[in-house]
Amino acid sequence: MAVETKPETLVPELWSAQEHKGGSEELGVEYSLSKDSDLSLVLQEFPEGGLAAWSTAFGSFLILFCSWGYIASFGVYQDFYTGNYLANETSFAISFIGSFNTFLGTSVSLVSGTLYDRGYFYHLVVAGSLLQSFSLFMLSLAKPNQYYQIFLTQGLGSGIALGLLYIPSLAIVSHYFRRKRTLVMAFLTMGSSLGAIVHPIMLNNLLNGRLGFANGVRASAGLVSALLLIACLCMRTRLDPPTTPVNYIVAAKKCLRDIPFFFATVGAFLFQIGVYYPTFFLQLDSTQHGISITFSSYSLVILNASSSVGRVSAGYIAGYIGVLNLTVISAISCGLVLLGTIGLSSLASVVIIGVLYGYFQGVYTALLSPLMATLTHDPSELGGWMGISFFLGGFGSLIGTPISGALLTSNYIWWRPALFSGLAALAGAAMYIFMRFVYIRVQKKNES
């Protein structure tokens, strides 16, 4: 006869107090256990390694390589569509494909995060992988000047796939790592950084080479499909879903009343209006200024390679000066470099802008999750707060690059979108400054 057990809760680690400068924190997640489970094994908590742990981390790495790493190569498509495949469309319309893809990558995460909390990890990963593969193969069938075909496949289909894969691929790592979580997360972000280097090189050579658009996209889709299949085979869950999944309606009401979180979310919205401008337009900008096509095709590679350095170094620097401070510094630096793109006119200027902007954008991107962890009061609500912030901030990426494309016009007046993007990013940086000021003031008040 089975013994009836009573569910208990294990909280791996207390939510540590955050110092004023904003250091890194460990994230606690509640999981269901029974009394007759081997509690001593669970109290060892996380394996911190082993075949299952590292194969899961490798699977997450591959997913980020094939999802966010791929969307980072949209500048190649922007350049190709403008000059060849969608020559009759405006820069606004073309850039909207990429911005809508990026927006869905963050907004659909609200849904995928909820489903992940309820134990649908495998369903999300398999569905997202199949949809990404299907969307790219269907993109290869799109005909020239058929905007709706490209938008439905690359904008809508691939965007939904990105949203389904994003949160599960990051969250699953918390099943295996706690002490090494920061290190492993840095490894995972290298997946998107490496993808942002490999995909632009491959796509530039495929689309502008002998294969052409259709066969070139099929070759790219084949690589992505094979890697996603390997990722699905590698990843395994270890813990049961949380006993109390996040109620996003309650979490939204609570977090939007939190002043530092409010400023952070407004800052993310404003900052993301401008942040993707170089990712979408740097290669086109370089080409239109008379720089060789061969070198221009590597402008995104320079930017993304520098971004990977920024993502890796962000964790080390934040340990010394704090997450809040480094977020402010990186946001201001990005805004200033965006304004500097007004002066882009030579090969040297492309390299300088690519290296500087790539680095500071990489630092900022790496700090998004730690920043939310710093601002969230209750670890059990972290997923909800993070999902809400990413969702609202994602509207900035939805409208930013299309507005930049509209300001650019068919006459390629480059100073207009550069000025707009730079001012939007600096406005976001100002919100982050307010966030830091209010957060430190609240912390001091609580201590007193």
State residue 9 phi and psi, 5-degree precision.
-125, 135
219 Cβ partners below 8 Å, 6+ apart? 202, 206, 211
9 pLDDT above the threshold of 80: no
**Contact, 272 vs 97, CB < 8 A?**
no
15 pLDDT above the threshold of 60: no
**Contact, 98 vs 167, CB < 8 A?**
no
Read off the pLDDT of residues 94-124 as tens digits, 9 standing for 90 and up.
Answer: 888 988 998 898 888 778 877 887 788 889 9
Q: Identify the pLDDT of residue 43.
A: 38
Cβ-in-10-Å burial (0-12, 13-18, 19+) of 446 comes to exposed
Among the residue ranges 20-34, 115-129, 339-353, the one predicted with the least confidence is: 20-34
Q: Identify the pLDDT of residue 42.
A: 46
Q: Cα(181)–Cα(204) distance, rounded to whole angstroms? A: 35
Whose structure tokens read 């509207």? 395
Read off the pLDDT of residues 41-61 as tens digits, 9 standing for 90 and up.
Answer: 443 566 777 788 888 888 989
Buried-exposed string 361-383: b where 16+ CB fall within 10 A, e elsewhere = bbbbbbbbbbbbbbbbeebbbbb
Q: Where is 172: in which H helix or E strand?
A: none
Distances (CA, A) of 235 to 243, 362, 406: 22, 26, 42
pTM greater than 0.85: no
> Tell me, what amino acid is at 34?
S
Q: Count CB atoms within 10 A of the CB of residue 198.
A: 17
**Average predicted confidence (pLDDT) for the chain:** 81
113 Cβ partners below 8 Å, 6+ apart? 167, 171, 246, 383, 384, 386, 387
Read off the pLDDT of residues 247-271 as tens digits, 9 standing for 90 and up.
Answer: 667 777 777 788 898 999 999 999 9
**Contact, 154 vs 85, CB < 8 A?**
no
Q: Identify the pLDDT of residue 24.
A: 38
Enumerate the H helices of 31-180 as residue ranges.
39-43, 51-66, 68-71, 74-80, 91-107, 109-117, 121-139, 147-150, 158-171
Whose structure tokens read 């650019």? 408
- Which two tokens mark 242? 């949380």
39 pLDDT above the threshold of 60: no
User: Residue 183's pLDDT band (boundaries 50, 70, 90)?
Assistant: low
22 pLDDT above the threshold of 60: no
10 pLDDT above the threshold of 70: no
13 pLDDT above the threshold of 80: no
Q: Cα(232)–Cα(194) distance, rounded to whole angstroms? A: 19
Among the residue ranges 207-216, 242-251, 402-411, the one predicted with the least confidence is: 242-251
User: Residue 279's pLDDT band (boundaries 50, 70, 90)?
Assistant: confident
H helix and E strand count, the chain = 20, 2
In this structure, is the dihedral angle defined by the CA atoms of residues 320, 324, 329 and 330, taken in order, positive or negative?
A: positive
State residue 8 phi and psi, 5-degree precision.
-120, 175
| 3-state SS assignment for residue 31 | strand
User: Residue 315's pLDDT band (boundaries 50, 70, 90)?
Assistant: confident
What Rg value do the Cα atoms of the chain yield, rounded? 22
Among 73-87, 262-276, 369-383, which range has the highest average pLDDT? Answer: 262-276
Whose structure tokens read 């409208």? 399
Read off the pLDDT of residues 383-441 as tens digits, 9 standing for 90 and up.
Answer: 667 778 888 888 888 888 889 888 988 888 889 999 999 999 999 999 999 999 999 98
445 pLDDT above the threshold of 60: yes
Q: Cα(274)–Cα(338) distance, rounded to whole angstroms? A: 8
Q: Identify the pLDDT of residue 34.
A: 39
Q: Count CB atoms within 10 A of the CB of residue 4.
A: 7
Q: Identify the pLDDT of residue 245.
A: 65
> Tell me, what amino acid is at 125?
V
| 187, HSE (Cβ side, Cα atoms, 13 Å) | 17
In the 3-class helix/strand/coil scheme, how is 333-360 assigned residue by residue?
HHHHHHHHHHHCCCHHHHHHHHHHHHHH
